[in-house]
Amino acid sequence: MSLNKQSATLLINCPDKKGLVAAIANFLMTYNASIMHADQHQDGAENLFLMRVEWSLQGFTLPMSDFAAAFQPIAEEHHMEWKVSVSERKPRMAIFVSRYEHCLADLLHRWRIGELGCDIPLVIANHEECRRLVEFNGIPFHVIPVTRENKQEAEAEQFRLLDEAGVDLVVLARYMQVLSGDFVKRYPNRVINIHHSFLPAFDGAKPYHRAFARGVKLIGATSHYVTEQLDEGPIIEQEVTRISHRDEVEDLVQKGRDLEKVVLSRAVRWHLENRILSYSNKTVVFD
């Protein structure tokens, strides 16, 4: 998207059939839309049509406040699930973290230089270690300790802070706690996690230790949406690096950090740019 142009983006998921592209394009052209980007995907196995279209709001004659009412008849006719967003409104993103700061530091750096188009109203942690980094960036830092005994009360406080901040997206930057089903239901496809393995291999705890014990030659990192099933959510991005018999567990951890922060930041950026459609526990990421 051009930095000098305000735009709108429409994401669509519906049963596949002929004429969908024409129907969408004709609707937009009715209101003098100048389409900047359009991409689509057909999933033959699922008989699904998925599309992302972005257009300039300069000269667009339909007020965005009236868009939903105007588009709804087309959506109903074609049984569409859809979402529209405007570039003028920055999503509000909360970051959850425990003790490891490498993913957090990378996100904050990319946010500070304008690579991530969002506001970060708060960071929530269950330990104190990252306070200095967060407050250096001028962001409120909240510590909410989590134990087996207080998990429900801790999440209630997290919900309060998230609601007060009007948060749209939650990013788990190596937050070493399992979220409850209630948490996930509040933010469907709006909680992004980084797992330090190439899923589905080595899900759960201590993946680097298990990869070392197994003698693998590749390790990876996976960013995915969080669901109620641990490490089973729709995968957004993955990356791998080669290791050898000379590498110890500490070497795997060090090499993995570089993968984790890059993979997480990519997934977050794509979500913020409305490039991801999730269906059947997988994703389409549009260019």
pLDDT tens sequence across 1-12: 444 579 999 999
d(CA 279, CA 287): 17
* 66 included as an active-site residue: no
Q: Among residues 120, 117, 69, which one has the least CA distance to residue 89? A: 117
Expressed in angstroms, the distance from the first to the final Cα of the chain is 12
Does the pLDDT value for residue 255 go beyond 80?
yes
- Average pLDDT of the residues in 167-183: 96
Output DSSP code: residue 144: -
Look-up of token digits 């188009």: 117
Give 14-52 pLDDT, tens digit per residue: 999 999 999 999 999 999 999 999 999 999 999 999 999
- What DSSP assignment string belongs to 51-93? EEEEEE-TT--S-GGGHHHHHHHHHHHTT-EEEEEETTS--EE
At 285 the pLDDT is 98
At 261 the pLDDT is 97
- Active-site entry in 119, 231, 251, 287: 231
d(CA 70, CA 10): 14
At 5 the pLDDT is 76
Give 179-203 pLDDT, tens digit per residue: 999 999 999 999 999 999 999 999 9
Does the pLDDT value for residue 224 go beyond 70?
yes
At 3 the pLDDT is 46
Q: Can you list the domains of the chain with their CATH numbers?
A: 7-86 (3.30.70.260), 92-285 (3.40.50.170)
Structure token pair of residue 196: 């330090």
Torsion angle defined by CA atoms of residues 192, 195, 200 and 205, in that order, rounded to the nearest 10 degrees: -130
d(CA 144, CA 132): 16
pLDDT band at 229 (very low <50, low <70, confident <90, very high): very high
Does the pLDDT value for residue 140 go beyond 80?
yes
Longest dimension (CA), the chain: 63
Q: Give me the residues paired with residue 34 across strands.
A: 56
- Average pLDDT of the residues in 90-95: 98
pLDDT band at 61 (very low <50, low <70, confident <90, very high): very high
The pTM assigned to this predicted structure is 0.94
- Average pLDDT of the residues in 195-219: 94
Cβ neighbours of residue 75 under 8 Å, at least 6 residues apart? 82
In three-state secondary structure terms, 34 is: strand
Exposure string over 141-179, b if 16+ CB within 10 A, otherwise e: beebebeeeeeeebbeebeebbeebebbbbbbbbbebeb
- What DSSP assignment string belongs to 181-249? HHHHHHSTT-EEEEESS-TTTT-SS-HHHHHHHHT-SEEEEEEEE--SSTT-SPEEEEEEEE--TT--H
Q: What is the mean pLDDT of the chain?
A: 96
What percentage of the chain reaches a pLDDT higher than 70? 99
At 2 the pLDDT is 42
